[in-house]
Structure 1
Amino acid sequence: MLNKRYSFGYLFVNTAVSIYFLSIFLFKRSYNIAPALLILAALILFITSKERKNIFKFNNEQKTLAFSYLFYFATLAFSVLFHHGKLNELDNPSRILLFLPIIPLLVNYKLSFHILIKVIPFSALLAGVIALIQRFYLGYEQAYSNVMHIQGGDMAMSLGVFSICISLYFWTNKNKKFALFILFCALMGMLGSILSTARGGWIGVPFILAFTLYIYRKKLPKYFFPILFSAISTFVVIVSLTNTGGIIDRINAAKADITQYVSSENTSTSVGARFDMWKASWIAIQEKPILGWGKQGIYDKKQELAKEGIISEYAASFVHNHNQFIDDTVKKGLIGLIALLFVFIVPLRFFISNLKTDNPELLCLSSLGIIHVISTMFYNFSQSFFSHNSGNIFYFFLIVIFYAAIKVLKNKN
């Protein structure tokens, strides 16, 4: 009986996690399916299991992670109450608290490292295929419009850089052919990001690649680096020469936007609007640095600044400020910024603490966790990534997955 329960639980949690990665870009809000299934399963396990006290007992590391999630949500709840905001502002962020019981569920039923490192590259491959179909067969201007193209582009880039890390794992474990296939999957994920036209996802890639190669520098033969460099260089050259996804046009547009903004010729551009929003936020933060303005308060403040000619009306029309760090600070004050930093620093510290290991699986998972945190931080510099449900789920749910996978490995060893 116990073996059957374990077998079903093992299949269920690993299938659910696989569904999440493979369904991100399939249709609108398909990324909600797997987390909802796992939350429901955790609830059922808590109600029915006689060993729930042991199963759902958090260790110190998990308690610290739970505190960071709770603190992040609590600052938002306080801000909404203090600034008389709408309760629906708590809808998306409140869901991250439901991810916490998933950790013991995944640990108890043994989230599989080997399934995880195979499904991630396949999801990157699928992301690239979907982007190609949407852009060149269906004729979409931007890939991933069903999940908001900037969010989709960022998530596709994450899947791509995850896959590069996984390819290094397989290469160092003498599975070179599969490593090369996964490298191809990585490039497909990155291509998907390019086809989304989301420029913010490209900024952190050089830093992420440098980190990944640094981690594996002693485990890789010298001839591997020319292979990787050649593959990435060829990919970049082809994309640039063919202007795939309009990448050159997007880069030139960004340059033109900056020039027009500096000369005050036209500030109502994509980049110009961001500069204006950040300018307005800086003005507002100086007036209310501790508790911020709230969502409606900063919107009204931007309207006021637009009437005074300090920022454009176009910039004033945005609800969020296309930078999560600035957005949280101006809406929730310095307390909100601290809470945001907590949800990055706490898991980052945990993943870094597991880097010093001779276990290749643990090294791979820890690296994936670090890549996930750092890449998401980069996305948040030019986009309010957590202002969208897709971003909340992608970041906080994957933190839970990597946490649990590391815990399973440690218990096994």
Structure 2
Amino acid sequence: MPPLRRALEKSIPAGIRLGAFMVPGLALWLPSGYSWGAAWLLLLALLTWPQWRRARVAASTWALAAAMCGMACYFLAETGLQDGAALDRPAKYIAALPCLFMLAWRGPSVAALWNGMAAGAWGAGGIALWQTFVQRLPRATGYTNAIQYGDLSLLLGLLCLLGLAALWQTWPRWQRAALAGGAFMGLLASLLSQTRGGWLALALLLPVLAALMARHLPARALKASAAALLAGLAALALTLQTPLLERMETAAQETQQFMETEQADTSVGHRFAHWQMAWRMGLQKPLWGWGRAGYEREKQALVERGQAPPSVLRFSHAHNEVLDAFVRRGLAGALAVLAFYAVPLAVFWPTRERQQAAPAAARRRAFTLRLAGVALVMAYMGFGLTQVFFSHNSGNLFYLFMLALLHGALLELARTSNQAQSNGCQWRMQRALPA
């Protein structure tokens, strides 16, 4: 083997660990921080292509690749090939495919992933504190916007909390402290962003996560997990009780105003107006939708005819992921988005059969990876109720590459655990043989 190739082979695991740290770790620290880890993993995938292209591909990898291709086709159909700038989004999905296959061939460790999540959550909280208490901004926005920033901060904090609770005995003290602080700082950043859609997603997600943990964790570990979760949420609620209650009361008032007078010039009201308009427009062209340009033209025409409030012109999307896909690309677009939720959810869902099939020594870590995958997908489903998350680079890249990393880590864990088990059996057999 040539020396250059040998050196590359030895550096691949370290490079993948670095990428696993960078994707969540830099996502909110820097402008376009979510792109740095993605670009690094793409470079590694291109350099290692001769190795991973010959590897056997699991059915779960093909399923995720198909879901990604479906979304790439959706974005291409929405914009067409004529708009070169609009090809940016489908290009990200195509670029994620070699990374998915490389990480399925050689995935990161569980520790590398959660160290990155902790770093990302600490950074999100630090920036939020700086922006609100030093720069005196009314809402923390990071380097994106308040909604994207708040929702991704919440997700990072939640993932830290899950890793801490489910793997408490596995982590050394410094990692427990890092994850506990990351959970607090990530959720704190979400609250300082005052992004209510993330809180709605959390309310929908927590019962599912609690049920899965109750089903698959021992009673002793479950008590520790529940205590950690409740302590974190209680600390945050007490810390920011006043702004939290104010935002909730405002949302209730704006909802009541829209129901009584169709007042659309509020944060909640214009979302209701968008949803109504998108649904009606989608029913007019249910199969293939209006397309991007057609949607904007018809929206303008509806406002001019007095059939939609002027507030809908301030935004280029319908503030709901599935409705936005439906109005732009009809049922085909809506199904592509739903599949992009459903396929990863099916891949990661921790059934009893999957848990029993995992090597005993790695069963808890495998469950935690699956739990994180479920949390990622369901959080995006919740975010998508009030925001079109996939219309933003941060939403696309974080979802794509965290899916690939969590899936790769799950396969790598199974592979290394089986190898260790096999080596242990061989060693015991050799000890049993007569000299």
Q: Cα distance, 1:121 vs. partner?
A: 2.2
* Alpha-carbon contact 1:295-1:319 (below 8 Å) kept: no
- Given the alignment of the two structures, is residue 361 of structure 1 paired with residue 365 of structure 2, yes or no? yes
Paired residue for 1:199, among 196, 218, 231? 196
Q: TM-score, normalised by structure 2?
A: 0.86
Residues 386-405 of structure 1: per-residue CA shift (max 9 Å, x gap) = 00011000111111111111
State the one-letter code of the partner of 1:349.
A
- 1:201-280 aligned at under 5 Å gives the runs 201-217=198-214, 218-221=217-220, 224=224, 225-226=226-227, 228-240=229-241, 243=242, 246-264=243-261, 266-280=263-277
Residue identity in the other structure for 2:28? F
* Structural mapping, 1:5-404, within 5 Å: 5-46=8-49, 49=50, 51-55=51-55, 57-81=56-80, 86-171=83-168, 173=170, 179=176, 182-217=179-214, 218-221=217-220, 224=224, 225-226=226-227, 228-240=229-241, 243=242, 246-264=243-261, 266-352=263-349, 356-357=355-356, 358=360, 359-404=363-408
Runs of at least 5 residues in structure 1 that lack an aligned partner in the other structure: none
Q: 1:369 to 1:157 in 2, by over 3 A?
A: same
Structure 2 counterpart of 1:236, one-letter code: A
Specify the code of the residue in structure 1 equivalent to 2:16. Answer: V
Q: Judge conservation of contact 1:295–1:331 (CA < 8 Å) in 2.
A: yes
Q: 1 CA distance for matches of 2:21 and 2:83?
A: 35
CA distance, structure 2, for counterparts of residue 350 and residue 235 of structure 1: 32
Secondary structure of the structure 2 residue equivalent to 1:21: helix
Partners of 2:212 and 2:280 in 1: CA distance: 41
Query: What's the offset of the Cα at 1:39?
Result: 0.9
Q: TM-score, normalised by structure 1?
A: 0.90
Distance in structure 1 (CA, Å) of the matches to 2:232 and 2:29: 28
Q: Identity of aligned pairs, percent?
A: 25
Deviates more, 1:57-66 or 1:33-42: 57-66
Q: Distance in 2 between matches of 1:328 and 1:256?
A: 29
- Give, as a single letter, the amino acid of the residue that structure 1 aligns with 2:163: I
Please tell me the residue identity of whatever aligns with 2:114: I
Q: SS in structure 2 opposite 1:99?
A: helix
What root-mean-square deviation, in Å, do the aligned CA atoms of Structure 1 and Structure 2 show? 2.3
- Sort the Cα spacing of 1:285 and 1:133 in 2 relative to 1 into closer, same or farther, 3 A: same
For 1:77 and 1:226, locate their aligned partners in 2 and report how far apart those are by CA, in whole Å: 47
Secondary structure of the corresponding residue to residue 330 of structure 1 = helix
- Deviation of residue 174 (structure 1)? 7.9
Aligned counterparts of 1:174 and 1:22: Cα–Cα separation in 2: 18
Name the aligned partner's letter for residue 284 of structure 1.
M
Q: 1:152 to 1:307 in 2, by over 3 A?
A: same
Aligned residue pairs total 403
Change (3 A) 1:265 1:35: closer
Q: Which letter maps to 1:356?
A: Q
Shift of 1:181: 5.3
- When Rg is computed on C-alpha atoms for both structures, the one with the higher figure is 2
Quick check: 330-339 or 210-219, which moved more? 210-219
Deviates more, 1:163-172 or 1:219-228: 219-228
